[in-house]
Homo-oligomer: A and B are copies of this chain.
Amino acid sequence: MSKIDFMRTAFQLAKKGFNKTGSNPMVGAVIVKNNKIIGKGFHEEFGGPHAEVNAIKNAEEKGFSVANSKMFVTLEPCCYLKKKTPPCAQLIVKKGIKEVIIGMKDPNLKVNGKGIKLLKRHKIKTQVVDYLAQNEQLNRGFINLIKNQRPYVTLKICLTMDGKIYNLKNNKENIGDSLQLEHANRLRKEYNSILVGINTIINDNPQLTYRGKDREFFRQPRPIVLDSNLRIPLRSKIIGLKNSPIIFTKISSSSRKFKALTQAGCEIVTINALKPKRILRKLFSLNIQSVLIEGGGKVFSNFLKSKLWNELIIYYSPKFLGKEGLSLTRNLENKFLINNNEIKVKKIGQCLMLKIS
């Protein structure tokens, strides 16, 4: 096996942490001796041991000594002390690993080269290879979190060709077709959370869950509801789920509804204005790495114009609703131009999907 193969294996391991690492990045590591992999590890869950620790443990459990071995790790080993798990760089030194090949410098300023420096100071050979693109794809949420102090935000909506989101005469009518709905549902497994406005909860009472056949292998996204006046019905489907919803409201904790919802397992955040910037800052502090915003029109318009989004996914369904339809942007006061963004197009069922990022 070549260096490329070892690194590729480390990235494959990293992916196993998908949707389990919370605000931490996904990381994978392999330990190599005499050109053979003797240990494998990845960051398995938020707060748990890092990939390096798991790889060393895996090798030693199989009876190998990791002294004089090489480690391939997708992200720079950490080196700071005051955190949930012991630092990895120090462990690598202690265990006598002789060389570390690293997929990317950690963008987190608490590490950001300091891990590499520590290894070098202990005469451990280090090499940073340019796996930035792979890491960004793997950890877009994490990288965004560190860079912007907010989760990765995707705005998603399904529209008719004339920009309507809802049939006013028939609220059971789906705007998209079954393949589009399936595609949109599949998006959910890539996000930590799904955010909607209170009207969506009241009108549709959605579950906001990922319903694919492989759903058992994924942690369900956490529902987030923007609900200024705490109008959410206690019998809403999202209440009582294992994944308790986060509700943003203006209502204080002394209200009766607040207490009832808390008792039902909701996490309620009171802020005096439900503005995208404040909401995202709060989600950051709650370890939410990524948010899929699913509507309705008011929430969409507010986040759109805030510019605090990373990706915009629009499905166009081949129909016109005219006067029967509710317009997506009926709350958008001023025009919003999309500049210098990349636009990708794909056909999904009878619909067109635009991905703007």
Footprint of B on A, CB under 8 Å?
Answer: 159-164, 167, 301, 304, 314, 316, 318-325, 327-339, 341, 343, 345, 347, 350, 352, 354, 356
Contacts and interface: CB of A to CB of B under 8 A. Distances in A.
A332 B320 contact: yes
The 9 closest A-B pairs by CB, nearest first: A322-B332, A163-B163, A318-B338, A162-B163, A322-B329, A162-B329, A320-B336, A319-B337, A321-B335
B329 A301 contact: no
A338 B351 CA distance: 11
B323 A329 contact: yes
Contacts of A328: 162
Nearest to A336: B320
A329 to B, nearest CB: 4
B318 A301 contact: no
A318 B304 contact: no
B304 A335 contact: no
Contacts of A345: 345, 347, 352
A332 B323 CA distance: 6
10 contacts: A161-B314, A161-B354, A162-B163, A162-B327, A163-B164, A318-B337, A321-B335, A325-B329, A343-B350, A352-B354
A161 B163 contact: yes
A323 B318 contact: no
Contact of A322 (B325, B336, B350): B336
Nearest to A328: B162
